[in-house]
Amino acid sequence: MELEEKIALITRNTEEVITVEELRQLLETKDRPRAYVGYEPSGDIHLGHLITVNKLKDLQKAGFEIVVLLADIHAYLNEKGSFEEIRELAERNMKTFIAYGLKKEKTQFVLGSDYQLNRDYVLDVLRLARITTLNRARRSMDEVSRRKEDPMVSQMIYPLMQALDIAYLKIDVAVGGIDQRKIHMLARENLPVLGYKAPICIHTPIIAGLDGEKMSKSKRNYISLRDSAEELERKIMKAYCPQGTVDGNPIIDLVKHYVFPYFGKLKIERDSKFGGDVEYESLDSLLQDFKEMKLHPMDLKRAVAKYLNELIDDARKELTKIEPS
């Protein structure tokens, strides 16, 4: 793969890359750069989580070594359960990511507790704490904390550890949702003060829930990898999808971030009295027809449900083996 092809692949469907020029220089000078995402172990892995997994797959295709941090200590600091509960979730999450398509033999899965309790790491947390203001730590943790209004001291430690993970895992490129931006900027600014290099940062968009609101477990407004084909279709057909509107449309987001990157096309099957079948080979052409109301939301939803079911079917089958319903 040529350099510009790699850059196009790595930067597609991102909110921002800090910076593209640094990324280009990295690709020109290092054969096997390292990229990572850190995940707090959680119960239900859904398509929102997999936006960053998709980016890891792009990076893997571009020749990167991939590291997935299963951040058990971060989860403990963020009040996600006991160590025993979190460790069990971490194991299940790893199996879920593998079932979705991250190749185990090509992906390094690391538990935070494997190295975050070591003396040097703890000392570096303290060193980083000495050069980070309380206000900066608070701003950095606001997007990821469970307790924004009255945070515990443990949650202030969270962004310092996340910054140091990048150094200790020898990461060149840190990947995360755009909600991770403040933590990544803290890492870029302060890691060099401790003698570590600043990471390149890739930020992916935050996908809205199927109702157009913030994705929430309590609302069940997301697609889980454990959803049956029937449940997935039911959710998609009920989803918010305003006719002619592209921005803020969760169905359009699913087309952009899942259907076209994987299938490279989308076929609409419909009765001849509604225009007959049509196959889109580019996202732009589909978006144009949707904006001009040549493509009805219900026809689009039916097609998206079909493609998503095909996309996650293998993962769904694997999960039924490892996670009883």
Output the CA–CA distances (angstroms, integers) from residue 282 to 61, 116, 192, 309, in the order listed.
21, 45, 42, 21
pLDDT tens digits, residue range 263-279? 999 999 998 888 899 99
pLDDT at 231: 96
Least-confidence region, from 164-173, 218-227, 278-287: 218-227
* Burial class (CB within 10 angstroms; exposed 0-12, middle 13-18, buried 19+) of 202: buried
Instruction: Kindly list the structural domains of the chain, giving each domain's residue range(s) and its CATH number in brackets, ordered by start.
Output: 3-204 (3.40.50.620), 229-322 (1.10.240.10)
Side chain identity at residue 239, one-letter code: A
Mean pLDDT of the chain: 91
| DSSP notation for 179-247 | GGHHHHHHHHHHGGGGT-PPPEEEEEPPPPPTTSS---TTTT-S-BTT--HHHHHHHHHHS---TT--T
- Alpha carbon distance 261, 244 (integer Å): 22
Query: Could you read off the pLDDT of 53-90 as tens digits, one per residue?
Result: 999 999 999 999 999 999 999 999 888 899 999 999 99
Q: According to the model, what pLDDT value does residue 145 have?
A: 61
Average pLDDT over residues 128-138: 91
Q: How confident is the model at residue 323, as a pLDDT?
A: 57
Report, as an integer, the average pLDDT of 174-182: 94
Sorted by sequence, the CB contacts under 8 Å of residue 236 that are 6+ apart come out as 210, 223, 251, 301, 304, 305, 308
**Does 19 sit behind a cis peptide bond, omega within 30 degrees of 0 on the bond before it?**
yes
Which tens digit of pLDDT belongs to each residue from 92-129?
888 888 888 787 888 999 999 999 999 999 999 999 99
180-68-45 Cα angle (round to 5): 75
142: exposed, middle or buried (Cβ count in 10 Å: 0-12, 13-18, 19+): middle
Kindly report whether the global pTM for this prediction surpasses the value 0.85: yes
